[in-house]
């Protein structure tokens, strides 16, 4: 018989603390992006994902897979960003059913303008709170969990780090 009690109190405390930290950090970083750059975290996630590719474009399905978003969420978010000139949809010439989402010049400008303050917020609220050995452990653990949940996103994360 499996019960909740099979998870130790220490493990539950770890899980609750991790979840609370993630939610609070996400909220604070979202506030910072909105305040300093007029971007949401969803905007930023898409812009960074596109920026990090060689062609600065991804197919809609690939974008959804990398971000772990449902197709409808990607579609709605891209539509909002397209209306603001941050991205554009381009028909895939090799596959008439496929669509590319491409970073525009305005999207690249918005991303680059947001990066400095966003990076500083990440340093202030997260990175500077960790010791070097904690960072290494957290990186390995994150990649292991991400590799189980979304191998494609894990490989992109590793590739980006190597670049």
Element of type H or E holding 70? none
State both tokens at 158: 């590793």
What domains lie within the chain, and their CATH numbers?
A: 9-129 (1.10.10.10)
CA dihedral 12, 150, 127, 131 (to 10 degrees): 60
What is the side-by-side strand order in the sheet with 99-103?
57-59, 99-103, 87-91
Q: What is the pLDDT of residue 4?
A: 58
The residue among 3, 123, 146 whose CA lies nearest residue 154 is: 146
Q: Do 111 and 48 meet the contact criterion of CB atoms below 8 Å apart? A: yes
Query: What is the rounded distance in angstroms from the CA atom of residue 111 to the CA atom of residue 92?
Result: 24
Q: What is the pLDDT of residue 1?
A: 45
- pTM reported for the whole predicted model: 0.81
How would you write the pLDDT of the chain (163 residues) with one tens digit per residue? 446 568 899 999 999 999 999 999 999 999 999 999 999 999 999 999 999 999 999 999 889 988 889 999 999 999 999 999 999 999 877 766 678 999 999 999 999 999 999 999 999 999 999 999 999 999 999 989 988 988 877 776 666 555 5
Query: What is the rounded distance in angstroms from the CA atom of residue 66 to the CA atom of residue 151?
Result: 9
């Amino acid at each position: 018989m499996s019960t909740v009690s099979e998870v130790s109190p220490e493990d539950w405390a770890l899980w609750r603390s991790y979840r609370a930290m993630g939610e609070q950090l996400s909220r604070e970083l979202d506030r910072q992006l909105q305040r300093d750059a007029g971007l949401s975290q969803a905007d930023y996630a898409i812009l960074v994902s596109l920026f990090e590719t060689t062609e600065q474009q991804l197919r809609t399905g690939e974008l959804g897979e990398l971000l772990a978003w449902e197709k409808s969420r990607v579609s709605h978010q891209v539509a909002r960003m397209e209306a603001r000139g941050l991205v554009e949809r381009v028909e895939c010439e090799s596959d008439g059913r496929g669509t590319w989402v491409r970073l525009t010049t305005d999207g690249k400008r918005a991303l680059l303008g947001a990066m400095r303050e966003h990076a500083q917020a990440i340093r202030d609220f997260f990175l500077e709170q960790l010791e070097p050995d904690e960072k290494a452990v957290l990186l390995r653990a994150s990649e292991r969990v991400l590799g189980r949940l979304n191998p494609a996103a894990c490989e992109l994360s590793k590739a980006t780090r190597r670049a």
